[in-house]
Amino acid sequence: MAIILVRAASPAGLSDAAGIISHHGSLQCSSLPLLNKRPAPAPARRWMLCSLRYGCLGLDPGRPSPPAVYSSLAVNPAGEAVVSSEQKVYDVVLKQSALLKRQLRKPVLDVVRPQEDLAEMPRNGLNQAYDRCGEICEEYAKTFYLGTMLMTEERRRAIWAIYVWCRRTDELVDGPNANYITPTALDRWEKRLEDLFAGRPYDMLDAALSDTISRFPIDIQPFRDMIEGMRSDLRKTRYNNFDELYMYCYYVAGTVGLMSVPVMGIAPESKATTESVYSAALALGIANQLTNILRDVGEDATRGRIYLPQDELAQAGLSDEDIFKGVVTNRWRNFMKRQIKRARMFFEEAERGVTELSQASRWPVWASLLLYRQILDEIEANDYNNFTKRAYVGKGKKLLALPVAYGKSLLLPCSLRNTQT
């Protein structure tokens, strides 16, 4: 993904941007003046957020709030270029997709790596480990668990193992013992992860994941990044802008998509690039986490946490004090409309990628996507009161979503539909 670095502090910076644009194609953006006209001198330095893919967002004091965009931080108020979180994460996407490309469409046995400790584990012990992972998945993610029943046994068990590791990691900072978790404890958890990848599992649940990574081209980086997200929760309770929040969402949820794609598999008939499938998986994780954040505003506030961009709150005329008071006002409604719009943008990107997955793997992903997106509808139905009302999708709606998700899982990949029209 090409990121334009626009120097918004001076007219010369906009001229520089014209040269970059000429190499990457045209850019439609109302924030930039026509490049064939001499721009008026800027009254003051400001941030400019720009991305060839998602458009631009200029943060000028006193101007109306711009439309929701994705993260692409370019230049800070001092005129210093900054690499955006979007670009940093995309570099990880490229690495993961390159790893998968090397093994794409090869038999599973071709990617097995010898693991000494696992070789000594009785086969029935490994089966019990996977079964226990399945039980945990069924207990805490019933709809997703049901969707995995259509997957092949090997893929199904691998997804269970990944889910359980992610849940255990999340429980470190959000579970009953969260108050006792320190950075040192997370360091030990990361060392345990390294041992797991080396074939030295600590317990039976680790053994299931260790066996999984020996069978699929799964990289350790997304797992390490998720632990980094847990570290963020220990030291950070505010996010200055969406760029910071984007990175947090990647750490705690976008990583799950990157872990899962090698297991889910890409449809053999898909014409999509591997990078685009990974990007869509990342987008689904970001969308889910943004939805979690919007659903849990009131709950997080009771713990002194605000997972909302501080600059966007200020633009909307809101402050931390408004969050803690928990009163729904028109300012809050308008702010929430923008946040929901942005989350839906990520869901829309994710939809295109789900169709490119192996057909047997699509149902649980579609079910997750449809159900999480409905949480946004419920927030709207609650008149944006996410302070005292928790938006949730009832059992009836969940059951109705399952056949819809199954129907969508049978559709041709988007890349094929585009070539046939």
pLDDT tens by residue, the chain, 421 residues? 333 333 233 333 333 333 333 333 333 343 333 334 444 444 443 333 434 343 333 333 344 443 334 444 445 556 666 788 898 998 999 989 988 887 765 554 444 444 555 555 556 789 999 999 999 999 998 888 988 998 999 999 999 999 999 999 999 998 888 888 999 999 999 999 999 999 999 999 999 999 999 999 999 999 999 999 999 999 999 999 999 999 999 999 999 999 999 999 999 999 999 999 999 999 999 999 999 999 999 999 999 999 999 999 999 999 999 999 999 999 999 999 999 999 999 999 999 999 999 999 999 999 999 999 999 999 999 999 999 999 999 989 988 998 999 999 999 999 888 666 5
Which of 234, 276, 279 has the alpha carbon at shortest distance from 258? 279
Q: Tell me what pLDDT residue 103 has.
A: 74
Chain centre distance of CA 157 = 22
Rounded CA gap, 86 and 98, in Å?
Answer: 18
Please report the pLDDT score of residue 150 as a whole number. 87
What is the pTM (predicted TM-score) of this model?
0.80
Which CATH code for domain 87-104+121-412? 1.10.600.10
| AA identity, residue 294 | L
Burial status of residue 80 (CB atoms within 10 A of its CB: 0-12, 13-18, 19 or more): exposed
Neighbours of 163 (CB within 10 A): 23
Sign of dihedral through CA atoms 49, 52, 347, 68?
Answer: positive
Q: Which two tokens stand for residue 245?
A: 């929040």
What's the confidence (pLDDT) of residue 80? 63
Whether 258 and 96 have beta carbons less than 8 Å apart is answered as yes
